Amino acid sequence: MAELPETPLLDELEKGPWPSFVKEIKVAARHKEACRDLLGQLERSYREKIGHWKHGGIVGVLGYGGGVIGRYSDLPEDFPAISHFHTLRVNQPSGWFYTSEVLRKLCDMWEEHGSGLTNMHGSTGDIILLGTSTPELEPTFKGLTDLGFDLGGSGSDVRTPSCCVGPARCEWACYDTLKLTYDLTMSYQDELHRPMFPYKWKFKMAGCPNDCVASIARADMSIIGTWKDDIQQNDEEVKKYAEAGLDIQRDVVENCPGRCMSWDGEKLTIDNRFCRRCMHCINVMPKALAPGKERGATILIGSKAPIVEGALLSSVFIPFMNPDDPEEVAELKEIVEEIWDVWSEEGKNRERVGEFIQRVGMGNFLEAIGMEPVPEMVAHPRENPYVFYALDEEEEEDEDEDE
């Protein structure tokens, strides 16, 4: 195989304790022409301080509208092996669990059909197969399905759902995040593979309010575990923490956002009526405290990155439901599908659901999907007096008068 290109700038990034992506590309470059050209083009970007990829381009696999990101070098003469260099987004298994066996098979398949470079994982959660040519797309897809894998989302469709490790390894999981993720993914295969919405739709499942999958910041629907009853408390263990040097007053009590704890040096008292399920005290004393027994999740809606109307965080949509109960999940799906209908009907092109709700108003949105407003949806009621008093109310009054 040919020599690697000279990369004095990139070589600097082989130094230091953190794993080096340059080393990874170099290893691959020993086997793959494309990776050699990638290295060359990247060095050029480092020298010129500018990227060298052309804008998009629609490529894909038969019958799918998403899952492949088309990419072309803007220096195809200099770097012909990456004149196309498309990535495939492959739907990861819930919780990113693998066996060495399945990983090796994936590797073999990708060495055969693509660059041999991956992202484990992309920031939505997919396995990213980084770079192949247009003719290799279908064979890669075939290779994937042979291994039991399928593509993830891209474009205006359901994006690959992802979740925290949840009950698989975490004592705080308030519902089965892996199961719900798998269930939603399987239920919405069509919506995942065939863009049909005004814009993308992301689901992210976190088992408790620590939100280890950052769902509240980057999911159109964020499903975050929580509980209804009292925190489970083991006073003996609390004492042990105190004896071991934890300053319970300063580090726990004074950090409680509900201001509902007190500590007299002997006994920790939680006024659970005002506990906000923030997790802090539990995080600090995992042996002494645990979420209650009546567990479930809060469903939130609408977060996204800033383009176009500014970033949004998800906000409370259903204060409490139990995702481990199949009936409640069925109801949730009905609501989701109702939202998709309304949003697809009335949403503007490239308008995420969070932006859509703000444009039409939460009250109107709820009416359109047939749900009732509850105070949990707001941080506080409106501060401005610009109320669109509901007309039907007045009609009722008028009717009363007519009678």
Q: Footprint of ligand SRM on residues 44-83 (CB under 6 A)?
A: 56, 69, 71
Residue 104: name its binding partner from ligand SRM, other proteins, ligand SF4, none (Cβ under 5 to 8 Å by kind).
Answer: other proteins
Instruction: Please give the C-alpha separations between residue 170 and each of 27, 139, 286, in angstroms, as whole numbers.
Output: 36, 39, 11
**Nearest of 366, 329, 374, 91 to residue 223 by alpha carbon:** 329
The 3-state DSSP class for residue 67 equals: coil
The CB-of-73 to ligand SRM minimum distance in angstroms stands at 12
Residues 15-34 that bind ligand SRM (CB under 6 A): none
Residue 122: name its binding partner from ligand SRM, a second copy, ligand SF4, none (Cβ under 5 to 8 Å by kind).
Answer: ligand SRM
288 is a site residue for ligand SF4 (CB under 6 A): no
- Helix 326-346 vs helix 177-187: crossing angle, to nearest 10: 50
Instruction: Please give the C-alpha separations between residue 370 and each of 121, 220, 338, 364, in angstroms, as whole numbers.
Output: 38, 19, 9, 10
171 is a site residue for ligand SRM (CB under 6 A): yes
Question: In whole angstroms, what is the distance from residue 394 CA to residue 316 CA?
Answer: 29
In one-letter notation, the amino acid at residue 294 is E
Nearer to other proteins (CB atom), residue 106 or residue 336? 106
Contacts of 42 (CB under 8 A, 6+ apart): 7, 10, 25
Residue 261: name its binding partner from ligand SF4, ligand SRM, a second copy, none (Cβ under 5 to 8 Å by kind).
Answer: ligand SF4
Q: Report the alpha-carbon angle 34-37-39, nearest 5.
A: 110
Give the distance, in angstroms, between the CA of residue 343 and the centroid of all CA atoms in the same chain.
20
Question: In whole angstroms, what is the distance from residue 378 CA to residue 300 CA?
Answer: 11
315 is a site residue for other proteins (CB under 8 A): yes
Nearer to ligand SRM (CB atom), residue 71 or residue 295? 71
**Nearest of 160, 88, 75 to residue 117 by alpha carbon:** 88
Q: Quick one: which segment of 19-27, 266-274, 299-307, 379-387 binds ligand SRM (CB under 6 A)? A: 299-307
State both tokens at 327: 């009936």
Residues 310-339 that bind a second copy (CB under 8 A): 310-311
Nearer to other proteins (CB atom), residue 341 or residue 376? 376
Instruction: Identify the residue whose tokens are 């990155």.
Output: 305
172 is a site residue for ligand SF4 (CB under 6 A): yes
Query: Is residue 182 packed enough to be buried (19+ CB in 10 Å), middle (13-18) or exposed (0-12)?
Result: middle
Sole binder of ligand SF4 in the list 45, 134, 210, 249 (CB under 6 A)? 210
Sole binder of ligand SRM in the list 352, 353, 357, 377 (CB under 6 A)? 352
The 3-state DSSP class for residue 127 equals: strand
Nearer to ligand SRM (CB atom), residue 15 or residue 254? 254
Q: Quick one: which segment of 39-47, 158-166, 333-341, 380-388 binds a second copy (CB under 8 A)? A: 380-388
The CB-of-119 to a second copy minimum distance in angstroms stands at 24
Please give the DSSP secondary-structure letter assigned to residue 155: S
**Stretch 226-265: interaction string toward other proteins, x if CB under 8 A:** xxx------------------x--xx---xxxxx------
306 is a site residue for a second copy (CB under 8 A): yes
205 phi and psi angles, rounded to 5 deg: -115, 120
257 is a site residue for a second copy (CB under 8 A): no
Residues that bind a second copy (CB under 8 A): 254, 259, 306, 310-311, 383-386
* List of residues contacting ligand SF4 (CB under 6 A): 164-166, 170, 172-173, 206-208, 210-212, 225, 256-258, 260-261, 270, 275-282
